[in-house]
Amino acid sequence: MITCPSCQSENIKLNGHIHNGKQNHLCKDCGCQFVLNPSNKVVSEKDKALINKLLLEKISLAGIARTIEVSQVWLQTYISDLYASCPEDLCADLPDQASMCAHLEDKFDEYVYEIAALKKTLLCLNLSLHGKTLKHLSKI
């Protein structure tokens, strides 16, 4: 007789098959789903390195799970553990507000200078084109 691994109840029904074809069972008392004699897949370090690369490429989690052949639940747990192991500040040295404002003002001044130079160039082009047009019209 089959018993539930969670509550030891014998009130069990068949509940379809899982992705690898094994029979899935459902406990009618506690609602636990289980497979008899499960074979857990161990994800190798090579696969974990590939998962890390795929995460950097912004591949969807469902796509990564299909490619590596792991469950989405396992993948989400792996990602949660990966993020938890990162330091809070990610070793970033953030500038203070005064230096950031000075940097932005410098960039703003550079862009204003570039825009002024571009306007001057466009004005010169417009005048020279206008002059050539006038000379061309005077020859007619």
Say which range, 4-18, 22-36, 51-65, 102-116, has the weakest mean pLDDT. 102-116
> Residue 46 pLDDT > 50, yes or no?
yes
First to last CA, the chain: 108
How many whole angstroms separate alpha carbon 73 and alpha carbon 52?
Answer: 16
Q: What is the mean pLDDT of residues 5-29?
A: 91
Banded pLDDT at 30 (limits 50, 70, 90): very high
The backbone torsions φ and ψ at residue 42, rounded to the nearest 5 degrees and listed phi first, read -95, 125
* Identity of residue 66: R
Alpha helices, H only, the chain: 45-56, 61-68, 72-84, 97-139
Contact call for residues 34 and 5 (beta carbons, < 8 A): yes
Q: Please state the rounded mean pLDDT for residues 33-44.
A: 85
List 25's β-bridge partners, or say none: 14, 34
